[in-house]
Chain A
């Protein structure tokens, strides 16, 4: 059963507009949430993260929002740029001695000129 769900396999957004990528999770004990960006033939690159004790974290054009009661997080990119076209993975760290990140299936973001 998928513990981290990214229900949109792809998303197309016009350059300059806001991109919103969504992620849902099932376990309220998850500790830490991360967003990774992946280009073809490269490894995932860390973008931004948020602790379960916060509800918002901002870094330049990227903002992550966490709604713990809904077990939902979202990544906002504004303004969207052509270089943002990539696959975005939501990942969670559950802590408690478990090291591995659990990933969602990813959302392919396409920025249209």
Chain B
């Protein structure tokens, strides 16, 4: 079965640069979520989109923005990168018609800021 696809899998950037992470949800899933997992930490919810509209917002810095496109893929844009942004970034998707609230996670993008 198709899973959530994230690209790139690894990304190295310097301080103050920008980065764009991409997420392709499972086909027919209408909701996309972004999470950030720092070293030794639990995944922290950043933001979610349902049917291309922002649905919920968590601890996303103002330097970050995201959107969901007409084909349901999503992009997380990160500007003025800081060393503390080094983390694993997970995208997850789900369907609002699924009563289980299960979110299906992608393999993650490891961002390293030097």
B residues within 8 A CB of A34?
A: 101-102
A31 to B48, CA, bound (A): 19
The minimal Cβ–Cβ distance linking A44 to chain B, given in whole angstroms, is 5
Contacting pair A100 B108 (CB below 8 A): no
B residues within 8 A CB of A25?
A: none
B residues within 8 A CB of A105?
A: 41-42
The minimal Cβ–Cβ distance linking A50 to chain B, given in whole angstroms, is 10
Check if B106 is an interface residue, CB within 8 A of chain A.
yes
Question: How many residues of chain B are within 8 Å of chain A by beta carbon?
Answer: 26
The minimal Cβ–Cβ distance linking A58 to chain B, given in whole angstroms, is 15
> B41-56: which residues lie under 8 A (CB-CB) from chain A?
41-46, 48, 50, 55-56
A52 to B35, CA, bound (A): 24
Contacting pair A42 B42 (CB below 8 A): no
The minimal Cβ–Cβ distance linking B27 to chain A, given in whole angstroms, is 17
> A59-113: which residues lie under 8 A (CB-CB) from chain B?
89, 93, 97-106
Q: Which residue of A lies closest to B92 (CB)?
A: A43
- Assess A49 versus B105: contact at CB under 8 Å? Given A97-B56, A99-B31, A102-B45: no
B residues within 8 A CB of A32?
A: 101
A residues within 8 A CB of B42?
A: 4, 89, 103-106
Q: Which residue of B lies closest to A36 (CB)?
A: B105
- Listed in ascending order, the chain A residues whose CB lies under 8 Å from chain B are 4, 31-32, 34, 36, 41-46, 49, 89, 93, 97-106
Query: 12 new A-B pairs (CB below 8 Å) besides A44-B43, A49-B102, A93-B101?
Result: A31-B101, A34-B101, A43-B107, A44-B105, A46-B102, A46-B103, A98-B56, A99-B31, A99-B48, A100-B46, A100-B58, A105-B41
- Interchain Cβ contacts under 8 Å between A and B, 9 examples: A36-B105, A42-B107, A44-B105, A46-B104, A49-B100, A99-B55, A100-B45, A102-B45, A105-B42
